[in-house]
Structures are given as structure tokens and as C-alpha cells.
């Protein structure tokens, strides 16, 4: 079958989080299964820099109407990569900017994001009529949420598009695309769609909600998160919509690209190692400590690593509460990430107060991320919620034992260690109490002292297979179900 992917991010062209990796890694796996996949992306400045200086247009100009004016978009041919066809929606006045959703200085979102991503969705529908109408449109997150809305309203009587199915994947329900009510007119939609059972959400037009209502099938990125977002606690005020569509909602765990994340052949590491021969991990640990300026750390002292966006969602308020108690533990902490200034300052202050125990790099560096995964003994992810999470999957492959809060994909991918039975892959805590986090860290530090048991724990994690093969097959099952329903 032919599947069109629409998303606001995709490695290597544009990335702010895990969404970009999914869009970069899942389509080639679907091609391996014998399907045709096309990915449409906005032509951001970052994407343009990776394309040839002279752009090749598959469609020179598409007219996109708005309430009082028209805009014009071109479709740039990005060529084949790993068997996947890439096209870029080119509208320089909307996309040729430094940031994806807002300025890079973090000063909020662009004020015209409804217009930007509304045009993007409509341009895809028009482009497919010339470049190939798919069996399935596979939308991702709020920025693509207007496509199923348009497909089932404005384009309802378009014979060419009528039979296409739509799947929407929720990567993070907290990001929804809220816009003023007047946006309904800007998108040339009738006011009778601005109702609680359609697009209206607390007196805003909600792009993600529109996608939830008008798509044929919904998926999200882990089975536990699929259950969580149907509750008031995790549903970000869309839980009632998701409960109504529970029969069309499936959690499919994200995968990992082991071509890029495997300590046996990772070119970013000081040494290679595998479950059969762990010797190289000690060299990676030494290299990591050197990179972070932490010298004379005994082998008996655990290295705890964090690679994360520094935000409340990631549970760092819990970590703040137990920082003084962690100072007393036989462990050092290395941190890599950027995020909310409050937490950036917290980690900087902690490192200044405990320079021989805590070291922080407030930035993102892909090579250093690999070094943290390989050189740490323990990976810490105390997230308040986590739709899937990728770093705990990298950690398992790298023999770095995860300590996580049991939520979303963290719950689905980490099994509690049983020292007597030698089963399990990490340590989990369930409550919202910082002491529960400290208890999980202490259990990990206790297990670390048993070197034989620790190596068994490492190997258990390294034996797990979180490649894209199984998730890709599950997505194909969803596509086939949608086509079956549509007749």
C-alpha cells in the first residue's frame, strides 16, 4: 500500500524531540515490509540547508485560499532516502525561519502557526492529487491535525481523495495547537464545526482535537500511555474525547534505530563492547568522566547519567527535593540537556556546590549523548509522564541500567530487577513522592555493589529487542484495519 506521512519534524531536517526520530526511522522500516512511503515536511530553513542549492520542484505552485487572501506553495522534490520519497512544502514567508514552532530564543510560539500548519496540511492534500494519492494518510501530532479535518469537510466531495484512510498518532497529548475562535473563518471552515463535539475546546480551536475527531484511527506511542491519556490526570483535557474513541485507539511502542545506537559499532564511543564482551564499557566510563571533568572516581562509585530536556515534565522537581540526600550517596552525576531556565540554573548551582560529584553540560550534543549512554552505570528518568521515551531504550542496549518512574513507555519497557531470580532490566518507582525516587536510586546503588549481579542485570537489558521491526508490523495492521473499515 501507499502511505503518506505528515509531520512537523523529521531527522535530519528538523528536530525538537522524539517525534523527529520516529518520522526518520519508521518509514524506511515500512518500505522494508514492501510498502510505498512518502513523507511531506515543511521546508524550514534547517531543511533547506540540507538540500541542493538549486531546488527541484515536483509541483511549482499550489494556491492555498484563506479568508481574505491566497498564499502560494511549491512542492520541492527531496528525492529518495532509504527507499522513502521526501517532499517539502515551500512557502518561504511562513517556513523560512530559524525555529520550527517559535523563535529559537524561546520567546513563545509564532503568532501565525495556525496559518503555517493549516497551509501545510492543505498543500499536502492538493499535492497528492498530482504526485500520488495514498491509501493511508498517517498524521503526527497537532501540526498535522488539520489534514483530516479538511479531508472530511472541505474535501468531502473530492472524488480523488474520498477513499483515503487517515491515522493520527499522538506523540504528546499536552501539545495541542490552540488558536482563537476566528481561526475557523481563516481556515474557511463553517462555524457549525466550532462545537464541543468537533473543533471547539474551551473556547479555542484545537488542531489536535480536530485530528482526534476526524481521523479513522488513533495511535499513540506506548500501550500504557494509550490508557493514561484517557484519564483526567494525563489526558490534558482531551480525556473525554479519547475515551469516546477508545475502540479506535491503540498504543504502539516506538522503536530504536540500532544502526545508530549499538555499542558494538558506535563510532562516537572511546571503545566498543557487547553483551558477550563488556570490557569496553569501562573505557567508555573513563572517557565520559574525562569529558565532564570528573577525575579520580573509584570503580565502586556509580556514575548516574541524564540526557533530557530540563523541564518539570521530566520529574526534575523530584530530583531537586532529594539533591542534598544524593550528595551523601556514593555516586556521581553527569547531566546533558537544555530546557526551562529554572532547572538549568538548578543543575548549574548543584554542580557549583558539588564540583567533584555533579557535572552539567547545558546544551545538546549528539556525540556527548552517546558517551553518556555508554559511560554511565545508571540512567535516570524520573518523568512525571513520558509518552514513550527513547533514552531508556538506548540505555538498555548500552548496558546502562535505567531508574525510571513507572509511567507511559517507561513502564512498558523497564522491568523491575529481582536479584534472587536474576530477572528484570532496571528499577521503577510509582508514586509522586520524591522519596520514592530516592528509594529506587538506592535500590540501584545497592545492586551496583554486587558486580556479578550487576553484569547479569546489564546483559538482561542488552538482550532486549526494541527495533522498529515489531512496531512497523503493528502499524501495518492498523492501516489494514482502516482500509477494511472503509471498504
Residues 248 and 314 in one domain: no
For residue 431, pLDDT over 90 is answered with no
Residues 425 and 474 in one domain: no
Distance (Å, whole) CA 198 – CA 213: 6
Distance (Å, whole) CA 318 – CA 331: 18
Residues 284 and 182 in one domain: no
Most distant CA pair in the chain, distance = 71
DSSP lists the bridge partners of residue 87 as: 40, 77
How many C-beta atoms lie closer than 10 Å to residue 273's C-beta?
Answer: 21
Residues 75 and 31 in one domain: yes
How many C-beta atoms lie closer than 10 Å to residue 355's C-beta?
Answer: 11
pLDDT score recorded for residue 175: 96
pTM flag (> 0.85):
yes
Residue 168 forms part of a structural domain = yes
pLDDT score recorded for residue 17: 86
Residue 264 forms part of a structural domain = no
105 burial type by CB count under 10 A (0-12 exposed, 13-18 middle, 19+ buried): exposed
* CA distance from start to end of the chain: 15
**How would residue 432 be classed by pLDDT, with cut points 50, 70 and 90?**
confident
Residue 139 forms part of a structural domain = yes
For residue 106, pLDDT over 90 is answered with no
Pairing of the two strands 204-206 and 401-405: unpaired
For 38-101, the DSSP string reads EEEEE--HHHHTTS-SS--EEEEEEEEE-SS-EEEEEEEEEEEETTEEEEEEE-HHHH-SS-SS
Residues 115 and 63 in one domain: yes
Distance (Å, whole) CA 404 – CA 440: 8
64 burial type by CB count under 10 A (0-12 exposed, 13-18 middle, 19+ buried): buried
For residue 105, pLDDT over 80 is answered with no
Q: 438 CB contacts (<8 Å, ≥6 apart)?
A: 322, 325, 326
Residues 214 and 323 in one domain: no
Portion of the chain with pLDDT greater than 90, in percent: 97
When the pLDDT of each residue in the chain is averaged and rounded to a whole number, the result is 97
Residue 370 forms part of a structural domain = yes
> Average of pLDDT values for 90-103?
95
Cα 10 to the center of its chain, rounded Å? 10
The domain containing residue 454 runs over which residues? 279-462
**CA angle 38–479–58, rounded 5-degree value:** 15
Residues 441 and 478 in one domain: no
**How would residue 361 be classed by pLDDT, with cut points 50, 70 and 90?**
very high
Residue 318 forms part of a structural domain = yes
**How would residue 487 be classed by pLDDT, with cut points 50, 70 and 90?**
confident
Residue 195's closest CA among 205, 187, 183? Answer: 205
For 327-362, the DSSP string reads TTSSEEEEEE--B-HHHHHHHHHHHHHSTTTEEEE-
DSSP lists the bridge partners of residue 303 as: 332
Residue 87 forms part of a structural domain = yes
pLDDT score recorded for residue 62: 98
Q: 99 CB contacts (<8 Å, ≥6 apart)?
A: 110
Total domains in the chain come to: 2
Residues 481 and 403 in one domain: no
Residues in the chain: 487
pLDDT score recorded for residue 107: 67
51: which 3 cell numbers?
A: 538540500
At 48-76, the pLDDT tens digits run 999 999 999 999 999 999 999 999 999 99
pLDDT score recorded for residue 104: 77
> Average of pLDDT values for 218-239?
98
pLDDT score recorded for residue 49: 96
**Alpha helices per DSSP H over 250-407:** 279-291, 316-326, 341-353, 366-375, 391-397
* Three-state secondary-structure class, residue 177: coil
pLDDT score recorded for residue 440: 98
> Average of pLDDT values for 446-462?
98
Place of cell 530516592: 438
Place of cell 475546546: 201
Residues 201 and 345 in one domain: no
CATH code of the domain covering residue 189: 3.40.50.2000
Pairing of the two strands 249-251 and 217-220: parallel
Lowest mean pLDDT among 2-11, 95-104, 129-138: 95-104
399: left (phi over 0), alpha (psi -120 to 50) or beta: left
Q: 275 CB contacts (<8 Å, ≥6 apart)?
A: 399, 458, 459, 462, 463
Residue 273 forms part of a structural domain = no
Residues 343 and 196 in one domain: no
Residues 161 and 208 in one domain: yes
Place of cell 570503580: 299
Distance (Å, whole) CA 394 – CA 305: 12
* Three-state secondary-structure class, residue 234: coil
pLDDT score recorded for residue 250: 98
Residue 178 forms part of a structural domain = yes
List the strands of the sheet with 136-140, edge to edge: 57-65, 70-81, 84-90, 36-42, 2-6, 136-140, 165-170, 217-220, 249-251
For residue 408, pLDDT over 80 is answered with yes
> Average of pLDDT values for 314-341?
96
Residues 443 and 474 in one domain: no
Amino acid at each position: 500500500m501507499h502511505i503518506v506521512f505528515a509531520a512537523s519534524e523529521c531527522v535530519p531536517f528538523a528536530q525538537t524531540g522524539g517525534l523527529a526520530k520516529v518520522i526518520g526511522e519508521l518509514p524506511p522500516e515500512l518500505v522494508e515490509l514492501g510498502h510505498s512511503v512518502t513523507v511531506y515536511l515543511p521546508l524550514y530553513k534547517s531543511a533547506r540547508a540540507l538540500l541542493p542549492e538549486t531546488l527541484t520542484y515536483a509541483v511549482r505552485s499550489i494556491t492555498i485560499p484563506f479568508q481574505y487572501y491566497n498564499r502560494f506553495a511549491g512542492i520541492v522534490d527531496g528525492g529518495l532516502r532509504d527507499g522513502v520519497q521526501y517532499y517539502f512544502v515551500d512557502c518561504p514567508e511562513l517556513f523560512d525561519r530559524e525555529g520550527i514552532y517559535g523563535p529559537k530564543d524561546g520567546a513563545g510560539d509564532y503568532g501565525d502557526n495556525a496559518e503555517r500548519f493549516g497551509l501545510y496540511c492543505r498543500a499536502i492534500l492538493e499535492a497528492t492529487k498530482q504526485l500520488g494519492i495514498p491509501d493511508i494518510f498517517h498524521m503526527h501530532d497537532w501540526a498535522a491535525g488539520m489534514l483530516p479535518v479538511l479531508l472530511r469537510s472541505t474535501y468531502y466531495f473530492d472524488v480523488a481523495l474520498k477513499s483515503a484512510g487517515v491515522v493520527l498518532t499522538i506523540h504528546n497529548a499536552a501539545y495541542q495547537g490552540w488558536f482563537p475562535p476566528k481561526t475557523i473563518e481563516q481556515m474557511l471552515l463553517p462555524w457549525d464545526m466550532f462545537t464541543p463535539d468537533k473543533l471547539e475546546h474551551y473556547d479555542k480551536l484545537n488542531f489536535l482535537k480536530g485530528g482526534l475527531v476526524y481521523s479513522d484511527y488513533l495511535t499513540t506511542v506506548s500501550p500504557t500511555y494509550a490508557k493514561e491519556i484517557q484519564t483526567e490526570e494525563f489526558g490534558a483535557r482531551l480525556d473525554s474525547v479519547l475515551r469516546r474513541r477508545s475502540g479506535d485507539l491503540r498504543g504502539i511502542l516506538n522503536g530504536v534505530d540500532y544502526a545508530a545506537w549499538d555499542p558494538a559499532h558506535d563510532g562516537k564511543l572511546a571503545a566498543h563492547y557487547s553483551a558477550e564482551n563488556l570490557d569496553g564499557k569501562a573505557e567508555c566510563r573513563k572517557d565520559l568522566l574525562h569529558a565532564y571533568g570528573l577525575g579520580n572516581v573509584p570503580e565502586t562509585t556509580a556514575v548516574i547519567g541524564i540526557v533530557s530536556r530540563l523541564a518539570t515534565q521530566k520529574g526534575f522537581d523530584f530530583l531537586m527535593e532529594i539533591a542534598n540526600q544524593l550528595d551523601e550517596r556514593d555516586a556521581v552525576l553527569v547531566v546533558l540537556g537544555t530546557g526551562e531556565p529554572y532547572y538549568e540554573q538548578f543543575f548549574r548551582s548543584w554542580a557549583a556546590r558539588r564540583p567533584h560529584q555533579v557535572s552539567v553540560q547545558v546544551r545538546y550534543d549528539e556525540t556527548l549523548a552517546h558517551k553518556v549512554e555508554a559511560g554511565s552505570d545508571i540512567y535516570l528518568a524520573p518523568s512525571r509522564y513520558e509518552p514513550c521515551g527513547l533514552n531508556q531504550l538506548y540505555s538498555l542496549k548500552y548496558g546502562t541500567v535505567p531508574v525510571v518512574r513507572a509511567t507511559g513507555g517507561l513502564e512498558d519497557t523497564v522491568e523491575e530487577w529481582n536479584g534472587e531470580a536474576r530477572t528484570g532490566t532496571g528499577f521503577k518507582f510509582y508514586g509522586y513522592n520524591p522519596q520514592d525516587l530516592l528509594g529506587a536510586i538506592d535500590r540501584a546503588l545497592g545492586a551496583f555493589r554486587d558486580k556479578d549481579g550487576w553484569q547479569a542485570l546489564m546483559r538482561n537489558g542488552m538482550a532486549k529487542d526494541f527495533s522498529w521491526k515489531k512496531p512497523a508490523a503493528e502499524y501495518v495492521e492498523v492501516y489494514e484495519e482502516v482500509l477494511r473499515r472503509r471498504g
